[in-house]
Chains A and B, each alone.
Chain A
Amino acid sequence: NAGVMQNPRHLVRRRGQEARLRCSPMKGHSHVYWYRQLPEEGLKFMVYLQKENIIDESGMPKERFSAEFPKEGPSILRIQQVVRGDSAAYFCASSPKVGSIEETQYFGPGTRLLVL
């Protein structure tokens, strides 16, 4: 059973370009979470999605950032018109369900975005 997959692992963009980060959850997992890790900090929650639904995007900046999890294909985190402050590691996690005391989020290897 493959783990959570993220690609690309490293992404370099110039200011003003768009960044697209992809996440394929573990097989059988229908819940996806995105977290951002700024340098020297812990991870911060950004958004929680189920198939075709955004459940909670309270941690995501209101402008330039969007996320989707279509019926088919991976979840996408999209950052438009990137700025240097967007440079960070972006981690995706998945879980099989929520509301269970046993629920665990499994993390992918992350995408490290560098904005020049």
Chain B
Amino acid sequence: AQSVTQLDSHVSVSEGTPVLLRCNYSSSYSPSLFWYVQHPNKGLQLLLKYTSAATLVKGINGFEAEFKKSETSFHLTKPSAHMSDAAEYFCVVRNDYKLSFGAGTTVTVRA
């Protein structure tokens, strides 16, 4: 089964600086990959998804992710963090109809 590993459990950035959340995947074929965000005590919101089209995927709220097959990575980035970006972020891979979630990365944004 395919899986994902989020390399950082916690990332702290200053407002206005770049954000990088790292995710590696394990798959024997081209995977479908997603990033979801979860704000405190809220549901999950889809940020973006990769489904074997363009390797650079643009999502909502200024986020984007790049699929790199040679590195088996799908890192999430944003050029300039905003206070509202403080949340938990999940890298997700789809196995048929099941979604397999990484352990999550908590992002805090310092003023």
A residues with a Cβ closer than 8 A to B are 4, 31, 33, 35, 41-45, 48, 55-56, 59, 91, 93, 95, 98, 101-110, 112
Contact = CB atoms under 8 A, between A and B. Distances in A.
Interface stretch (B11-19, B45-53, B64-72): B45-53
Which has the most chain B C-beta neighbours within 10 Å: A55, A98, A101, A108?
A: A101
A42 B101 CA distance: 6
Given A48-B98, A104-B46, A42 B41 contact: no
Contacts of B103: 41-42
B21 to A, nearest CB: 14
Interface in B31-85: 32, 34, 36, 41-46, 49, 51-52
Given A91-B43, A91-B44, A107-B44, A101 B51 contact: yes
A44 B101 contact: yes
A35 B98 CA distance: 10
Contacts of A98: 96-97
A102 B51 contact: yes
Nearest to B52: A101
B98 A112 contact: no
